[in-house]
Structure 1
Amino acid sequence: MSAVSPSVSIGSAARDVKPIALWVIPVADLGGVARHVLDVFRTGMAKYRLVLFCPEGLLAERVRELGGAVITGSFGPDYGFAQSARSLRGVIKSLKPAIVHTHLAYADFVAAAVLAADRSVKLVSSEHGIAGDDSIYHKNQLKAQARSWAHAARLKRADALIAVAESTKREMQRKWRAPERLKVILNGVDRENDDAPAPASADIQAGGPRVLSLSRLSPEKRIVQLLRAFPRILSEEPGATLTVAGTGLEQSQLEQLTHTLGLDKVVSFAGFVDAQRAMKEHDVLVQLSSWENCSYTLLDAVASGLGVVATPVGGNPEILDAEYLTDAEDTERIARLILDQFTGVKKRPVLETTWPGIRDMLESIEELYDNLS
């Protein structure tokens, strides 16, 4: 694959009078940071022309459908560091962006290397995925420490740094010695229902609560604990159902546990689903992760008026009050929170009025760009 997709006209972007902000993403699929990218390109910036550079794939296709400018190339872990660096260097040379804005560690490291000796282009990095517990993403402490040193080194080249939550900022400063100029810009979400009232008794689904898990099927998401809590829910609401959406290496283990617990008739494994549609078809979302930064899943659930149960980790307490948080091992509390939000005994959560919408988030990013001029 060439460094620049022949279907993209670099010239059309270059003729725009606005300075260019090149967003660099090292993955092609629609997981993780893709939601953030799509929100930004769907809404657009007032002062900057956005251009996406990523490998060819679903993310590039979706941004094109939104009318966004996309350059695809040999970039990301599948192509190796050297090829990725050559591809990014070529795009920067052709496009001459004012801003290079990286997302995810691979892009952060490649861009820091490519722009190490070039200060004419401003480098911005957003952190979406740091975890407080090193064991979540690293097999041993030595590897985790080496990774922290590498991040500390690449931060020295960045002209601006963004953390997506206050907890993210704290971890970046604790682990990577990130500077105080690190700015928190929360993930923006547009509210569908600010009041999010609990349903009246007559409106409650006759079949019982429809519970949704929407995440990667991996140990750190702790779906096992949700399954173990479900018999307690069924003891009060025999018509309750659980949809486990997502894919991952733990699926067969989770399916076996479902069978062992006798839950085959009430638990379904749905694979990949449209998140917005799934939320409209359920009553309560449960996310018992070992760590989250600023979870779009939680934000969407609250904004959509769902009941929500989550763990008090990372940025979750910045989104939810303590009354909706629980230890993942406390199956009784998990069940109680689900049941009470379904029946209306407990009001469902709402976002703070100060939580940014998507346009608010973009204005904060643009303001940060402006301050680099």
Structure 2
Amino acid sequence: MVLRAGADGPGRTGAEAPAGAGRALPCALWLIPVPDLGGVARHVLDVVRTGLPGWRLVVLCPEGPLAEALRALGAPVLTGPVSPADGAARATAEERRVLQRLRPDVLHTHLAFADLTGAAAVVGLRSGRGRRIRLVSTEHGISGVRGYFQAGRPQAAAKTALHRGRLRRTDAVIAVSDSTRQQILAQWGGGARVVVIRNEVAPPATPPQPRPGLRVLSLARLAPEKRIDQLLRAMALVIAEHPEATVTIAGTGPLESALRDLARELCIADHVRFPGHVEAAAALAEHDVVAQLSVWENLSYTLLDAAAHGLGVVATDVGGNREIVPERCLVPAEDHEGVARVIVQQGMDLASRPERGGAGDPARMCAGLTRIYEGVAG
């Protein structure tokens, strides 16, 4: 376990102090098994920036960009071997050591690996207040397309059995959308209370003035489940009618070379950019439409951000997408003509774009989290 300076100043994070040692606020330890700045890291950073009313938040994660971003915000952060790369046995042992030292009131796990190892690590442990440490889990990534994200049926069945078992030891489960809640109940059954607390994002400090245009943006890993090849095929139809149209394929991944080849085959390479990783807010400000034709999404931060910035949205009708954008934005990925039609409509007709208010309010999200903690911790 590596301790870093955070909100309590150099040399001491506040996470080091035994619970109850002069600490007025109850403590929630967030277990995040990934080091990078992805969707879950975005959620963590938004909550840290907003704060959990009446609670102290400490984050345990692997060393990496997320830990660095948390330190920059002055947040108490612990780093250690708690990622899938470290293996379940080592991660569980490290998590148990941290729990025994910190003695938080709540352990809040995020992502499947942490859900399973955290449930094992917390067994039999008590908080600084002498009560059983409560276990809360947020489900960010359960897929409604069964077997798509597993290596095979036996592996999927084994993971399902593990999740059903750990839910019986979990005090509350948070789903990020109604769709996510439905999938939890359908795939893993009961055993814990499942409450919906949606991801919510703040509008930009200076909201950009929307304008018509066909500058299309994809913000996604270049992987099969994002179906960016279908977007390029639809863009070929858009460009044939609107030669000023462009598309930016931001991100990296295993399909980058194949997607570049496809752009050349479709004779649209001059209209397509592959900039790699980009700063999302800056990219959103420079485009008119966000396209996301994923196989599955739970509650996409990309779509929330697009709506908050006043951009048009083209997305597949999967997971929680229809909880963010209206039906007129949703279209099957394989319907290239339909995708092209919605891109043009969302780009050129400002009235057809999603309402900005649908992106929500992070303070409301954080208030919902504290209600869960108070309900389970008493």
**Do the structures match in fold with TM over 0.5?**
yes
Trace 1:69-218 onto structure 2 (pairs within 5 A).
69-118=76-125, 120-179=132-191, 181-192=193-204, 199=211, 204=212, 209-218=214-223
1:4–1:91 contact (8 Å) kept in structure 2: no
**Partner residue, 2:294:** 289
Q: Does 1:17 align with 2:43?
A: no
- Counterpart among 241, 246, 259 of residue 251 in structure 2: 246
**Partner residue, 2:40:** 33
SS of aligned partner of 1:78: helix
Trace 1:352-367 onto structure 2 (pairs within 5 A).
356-367=360-371
Shift of 1:6: 5.8
**Partner residue, 1:5:** 3
Structure 2 counterpart of 1:41, which letter? V
Q: Does 1:350 align with 2:355?
A: yes
Comparing 4-13 with 224-233, greater Cα deviation is found at 4-13
Gaps of at least 5 residues in structure 2 are 6-11, 127-131
Shift of 1:183: 0.3
Q: Does 1:322 align with 2:320?
A: no
For 1:53-100, what per-residue CA distance to the aligned partner results, in whole angstroms no more than 9, with x for missing partners? Answer: 001110000011011100111211121112111211111111110010
In structure 1, distance between residues paired with 2:275 and 2:2: 36
Shift of 1:192: 4.3
2:27–2:104 contact (8 Å) kept in structure 1: yes
Q: What's the TM-score once normalised by structure 1's chain length?
A: 0.92
In structure 2, distance between residues paired with 1:361 and 1:6: 27
1:197–1:347 contact (8 Å) kept in structure 2: no
Q: Does 1:263 align with 2:261?
A: no
Shift of 1:103: 0.2
Gaps of at least 5 residues in structure 1 are none
Percent pairwise identity: 46
CA 1:227–1:18 in 2, change beyond 3 Å: closer, same or farther? same
SS of aligned partner of 1:131: coil
CA 1:54–1:335 in 2, change beyond 3 Å: closer, same or farther? same
Q: What's the TM-score once normalised by structure 2's chain length?
A: 0.91
In structure 1, distance between residues paired with 2:86 and 2:16: 26
Structure 1 counterpart of 2:252, which letter? T
Structure 1 counterpart of 2:3, which letter? S
Shift of 1:346: 5.2
In structure 2, distance between residues paired with 1:178 and 1:241: 47
For 1:175-217, what per-residue CA distance to the aligned partner results, in whole angstroms no more than 9, with x for missing partners? Answer: 0003472100000112349x99863xxxx4xxx5110000011
- Counterpart among 310, 318, 333 of residue 315 in structure 2: 310
SS of aligned partner of 2:269: coil
What is the number of equivalent residue pairs in this alignment? 363
Structure 2 counterpart of 1:63, which letter? L
**Partner residue, 2:8:** none
**Partner residue, 1:273:** 278
In structure 1, distance between residues paired with 2:375 and 2:40: 25
For 1:322-373, what per-residue CA distance to the aligned partner results, in whole angstroms no more than 9, with x for missing partners? Answer: 11100001111111111122222752111556x6410000000000100111
In structure 2, distance between residues paired with 1:52 and 1:171: 27
Structure 2 counterpart of 1:16, which letter? R
2:96–2:121 contact (8 Å) kept in structure 1: yes
Structure 2 counterpart of 1:75, which letter? V
C-alpha RMSD of matched pairs (Å): 2.0
In structure 2, distance between residues paired with 1:327 and 1:32: 23
Structure 1 counterpart of 2:119, which letter? A
In structure 1, distance between residues paired with 2:350 and 2:323: 23
Comparing 151-160 with 115-124, greater Cα deviation is found at 115-124
SS of aligned partner of 1:33: helix
Q: Does 1:338 align with 2:350?
A: no
In structure 2, distance between residues paired with 1:145 and 1:117: 28
Q: Does 1:219 align with 2:206?
A: no
Shift of 1:136: 2.1
